[in-house]
Structure 1
């Protein structure tokens, strides 16, 4: 039993160190969305079409697992850099048998997001700057952006919803169209 305990403690320490190292690299630690926030984000997507839903920084899989379960007819994609949360969410995906969910251990800034109907995120201010730059650089159009907690810089949201939780978490909605990218005319 002692060997098992030592191995378990070692695994926990290695996992913790990997999370800390990745957090130092990315500037934020992986934080799961609350169930109220997940429900609020899903409610905003009711009339978002049938195209792919892409979660930028899918972390522990809280959002992507919920999206894939609620929208089994839609492709759901998650991008996550941190190894431990990505592994955890991959295991959750396998256990849940969600064939419409694909998880990539990849930086969304290097991904092709042009096919997405919906982009969801719970990033941080620096991540939102990166998203804004990517949207402008790649000229991404015709997409609904649903962001928990953090706004897209220099962009006017179509709507802001306040979750009925302790923090009154804001959910920012942006409707990108062919004529505008991030609130700026082309």
Structure 2
């Protein structure tokens, strides 16, 4: 099965239910394929699709073994020759989609889309449900957002000096402090701000 042409991998998969202009479905494809001895000309002979990269990685861990010499994942059912396992992000067009946002709207839509997806990930993967968020009524989520936003202003050198330690104003246990890239940190900050706004709205209605 030939894989759908891949695009650049974003920081997170998109939550299409949160975005009204649904022009594509996002997938993480786990591909088992053949390569030459130099790792070129990847040609998939088996492909599976998953809604998140985490799901694809879980499936990969069950179906492939990591080569300790070159770090490549080799499928356990490799039929012959040189084989490799890859995970690719793809956007599959929807047949019934409406017109895609054009021009200057696209970067904005992608940024908002990624924030919506991160908000959904926080709920489904981290377990930060509405009930959980309502317990943090002292501005913790806004403070956590500020920490991630501030982290995104720092240089790579400054970030490396922290050695993974959370900033002093981080409101939760240090194991929940997970900075990565500057853009990803801003996406997390945006999602936490959304969570705090939603909490405030529920408190006002209550």
| TM-score range normalised by the length of the shorter chain | under 0.3
Using CA pairs below 8 Å that are at least 6 residues apart, which structure has the higher relative contact order? 2
Q: TM-score, normalised by structure 1?
A: 0.23
Please tell me whether Structure 1 or Structure 2 has the larger radius of gyration of its CA atoms: 2
TM-score (norm: length of structure 2): 0.21
